[in-house]
Amino acid sequence: MAWVLMLAALAQPAQADGGQDVLKAGTGREQVTSRCQTCHSLDYIEMNAGVLDRAGWEKSVNKMIDVMHAPIPKDEVPAIVEYLSRSYGR
C-alpha cells in the first residue's frame, strides 16, 4: 500500500506543472505569453534564460517569424525582444 502512496506523491509535481507556464512579471509578458505559446510551450524561453543576450533573443524571435512563420507583427518585435532580454537575457 505504501508504494501506491509514494507513486501518487511522485506523480503530483508533474501534474501540477502541466500546462501552467508562467513567465516572469514585466512589461511585454502578456504579449510574449500569447505570441510565443501558439506553437510550443514557454519552456523554450526558460531553457534559454541566461544563454541568449539581446542580439540572440532578437535573432531567435526573427527566426520564429521568418523560418517558423510565427504570426507575429513586426512592430511587436521590439517589445517582445525588450521583455525577453530584460527578463531572460544573459
Cell numbers at 49, concatenated: 534564460
Calpha distance 23→26 (Å, rounded)? 9
| Footprint (CB under 6 A) of ligand HEC, residues 66-85 | 68-70, 72, 80, 84
- Should residue 35 be labelled a site residue for ligand HEC when binding is judged by CB under 6 A? yes
* Non-local CB neighbours of 80 within 8 Å, separated by 6+ positions: 28, 31, 32, 35, 36, 61, 72
Q: Which of 21, 29, 33, 48 binds ligand HEC (CB under 6 A)?
A: 48
CB of 72 to ligand HEC, least distance (A): 6
Residues in contact with ligand HEC by the rule CB under 6 A:
35-36, 38-40, 44-45, 48, 60-61, 63-64, 68-70, 72, 80, 84
